[in-house]
Amino acid sequence: MLKSPLKILQQYWKHNSFKPLQEEIIASVLEGEDTFALLPTGGGKSICFQVPALIKEGICIVISPLIALMQDQVLHLQQKNIKAIALPSGIKYSELDTLLDNCIYGNYKFLYLSPERLQQDIVQERLKQMNINLIAVDEAHCISQWGNDFRPSYKKIEVLRKIHPAVPVIALTASATKEVVDDIVAELDLFQPKIFKQSFFRSNLGYRVENVIDKKYKLTQILDQYPGTSIVYVRNRKSAVELSDFLNESGYLATYYHGGVDAQEKTKRFNQWLKEEIRVMVATNAFGMGIDKPNVRTVIHYTIPESIESYFQEAGRAGRDGKPSFAYLLKNTNDNQRLHNQFIKVLPGIDEVKLVYRKLCNYFQISYGEGEQTIHNFEFNTFCKTYELNTLITYNTLQFLDRCGVIRFMQRYTKKSSVHI
Ligand code: ADP
Ligand code: MG
């Protein structure tokens, strides 16, 4: 007889009960339905595909955007004596061959892949031979241009569907805006999916906006008032370094994290912060996906973030353990002015919109007839050069057009898979 989901949870994870919606999601997957899990970060999405995959015969294919996330999950599974592998980048063909063989003949339960790997011929060939029980698309919002983490290759995951049309798909994400959800359903070609959405209300999290003159002083006050681990979000790399220095000089153990810090150093700092050798992580939005530290007591935004969605995601990293925690947003009159200016700057005038739109249509017809194309940065530059357009202004106009849905319309019209600017 098949084991029940609860038995599996207890046996491998040693948890006694499910978190909200996990049980319902697992049941839907076991019934063979396409399923959509919208749970906040830390809501326990991994278990939603791992438990049913362990119950069913065969192997579960997991698509994940970051090698660090894959390795972390694979390690956790292996520690439970569950056979799982990730296909790292940069391995030799022969190694790849062996690893894929294991998935066909070796009773493996989980194969983690990046969407880029999935495009390789050898990978697709071997996938055809595998007895796949479930396709899990983690961080599924990467498929949508409306999200912050758009990844063009996510749009090609559909190929798995074509190889194994009968295998159910589960999409998992913490981004729940309607546009993102619609995109995911369409791009993954989900069939009458069962959508499970958990309320994102966080009763243990206090949100505060503070109008202050001296942000540094306020920051130290908050840190004094609420002991425990903290994240301070800043707007750019320079501020990350400066503020981290300031905190250290003022007696708070801090470090910084941004896109320019090299990978090894990033891991080192992240781990020091995890182990609480360092209390405060001063970071740009590069400190994002995959942070799962339950006892972050304060998330402080030193400047106003770009969008309300990113604010919510970032602030939501506080208090995962359910204990009282605080999200502070510090602002002053300069911030108000900056936001106002930014807003004005990104809105192009109507004449300019018309001009860029006309040229864009023109350019599309000349450069792309059929097939799948992506406008990458260099193509964008060529486009600007061709028409002697100011790059910055054009960029803003295109973003504006994108927001109005014009670019999406053109995509459909020109059969393009993505326009990534
Ligand atoms: P998400 O992907 O939604 O951000 P994860 O799958 O990474 O969340 O899980 C977050 C944490 O919650 C992990 O440490 C996981 O072990 C824990 N967790 C998941 N399900 C349960 C459960 N039923 N009971 C207790 N802890 C759980
Ligand atoms: Mg996750």
Q: Is 113 in the pocket of ligand 1 (CB under 6 A)?
A: no
ipTM tops 0.85:
yes
Q: Compute, in angstroms, the gap from residue 80 CA to the centroid of ligand 1.
A: 15
Q: Compute, in angstroms, the gap from residue 402 CA to the centroid of ligand 2.
A: 28
Q: Is 47 in the pocket of ligand 1 (CB under 6 A)?
A: yes
Distance CA 169, CA 191 (A): 9
Q: Is 42 in the pocket of ligand 1 (CB under 6 A)?
A: yes
Is the pLDDT score of 374 beyond 50?
Answer: no
pTM of the model: 0.65
Is the pLDDT score of 417 beyond 60?
Answer: no
Is the pLDDT score of 420 beyond 60?
Answer: no
Mean pLDDT is lowest, of 265-279, 291-305, 334-348, for: 334-348
Q: Is 76 in the pocket of ligand 1 (CB under 6 A)?
A: no
Q: Compute, in angstroms, the gap from residue 329 CA to the centroid of ligand 2.
A: 26
- Stronger pLDDT, 43 or 108, i.e. the higher one: 108
Q: Is 46 in the pocket of ligand 1 (CB under 6 A)?
A: yes
Is residue 375 very low, low, confident or very high in pLDDT (cuts 50, 70, 90)? low
Our mutation pick for probing the ligand 1 site, out of 46, 50, 51, 54, counting the most ligand atoms within 8 A of Cβ, is: 46
Kindly report, residue by residue over 118-138, the tens digit of the pLDDT: 999 999 999 999 999 999 999
**Under a CB-based contact definition with an 8 Å cutoff, are residues 297 and 224 in contact?**
no
Q: Is 18 in the pocket of ligand 1 (CB under 6 A)?
A: yes
- Stronger pLDDT, 416 or 180, i.e. the higher one: 180
State which amino acid sits at residue 362. Answer: N
Kindly report, residue by residue over 287-314, the tens digit of the pLDDT: 987 787 889 999 999 998 877 767 888 9
Q: Compute, in angstroms, the gap from residue 291 CA to the centroid of ligand 2.
A: 9
Query: What does residue 163 show for φ and ψ, rounded to 5 degrees?
Result: -70, -40
Q: Closest residue (by CA) to atom 19 of ligand 1?
A: 44
Tokens representing residue 231 in the block? 């994240």
Q: Is 44 in the pocket of ligand 1 (CB under 6 A)?
A: yes
CB-side exposure of 192: number of CA atoms within 13 Å?
3
Our mutation pick for probing the ligand 1 site, out of 292, 295, 320, counting the most ligand atoms within 8 A of Cβ, is: 292
Q: Is 39 in the pocket of ligand 1 (CB under 6 A)?
A: yes
What percent of the chain is predicted at pLDDT more than 70? 90
Residue 321 vs residues 42, 43, 290, 353: alpha-carbon distances, Å = 9, 11, 16, 48
Mean pLDDT is lowest, of 29-43, 240-254, 331-345, for: 331-345
Is the pLDDT score of 25 beyond 60?
Answer: yes
Q: Compute, in angstroms, the gap from residue 41 CA to the centroid of ligand 1.
A: 9
Q: What is the pLDDT of residue 54?
A: 97
Q: Compute, in angstroms, the gap from residue 43 CA to the centroid of ligand 1.
A: 6
Q: Compute, in angstroms, the gap from residue 77 CA to the centroid of ligand 2.
A: 14
Mean pLDDT, residues 342-371 taken together: 70
Q: What is the pLDDT of residue 421?
A: 42
- Stronger pLDDT, 382 or 206, i.e. the higher one: 206
Kindly report, residue by residue over 187-214, the tens digit of the pLDDT: 999 999 999 998 777 889 999 999 999 9
Name the packing angle between helices 406-413 and 350-367 (round to 10°).
Answer: 20
- Stronger pLDDT, 21 or 313, i.e. the higher one: 21
Neighbouring residues of 420: CB distance < 8 A, sequence distance ≥ 6: 145, 150, 152, 374, 375, 376
Is the pLDDT score of 332 beyond 60?
Answer: yes
- Give the residue among 118, 111, 128 at the shortest CA–CA distance from 156: 118
Q: Closest residue (by CA) to atom 23 of ligand 1?
A: 18
Q: Closest residue (by CA) to atom 5 of ligand 1?
A: 44
Q: What is the pLDDT of residue 305?
A: 84
> How far out from the chain centre does Cα 388 lie?
35
- What ligand 1 atom has the least distance to the C-alpha of 48? 6
Q: Is 43 in the pocket of ligand 1 (CB under 6 A)?
A: yes
Q: Is 87 in the pocket of ligand 1 (CB under 6 A)?
A: no
Mean pLDDT is lowest, of 97-111, 232-246, 347-361, for: 347-361
Q: Compute, in angstroms, the gap from residue 421 CA to the centroid of ligand 2.
A: 27
Mean pLDDT score across all residues of the chain = 87
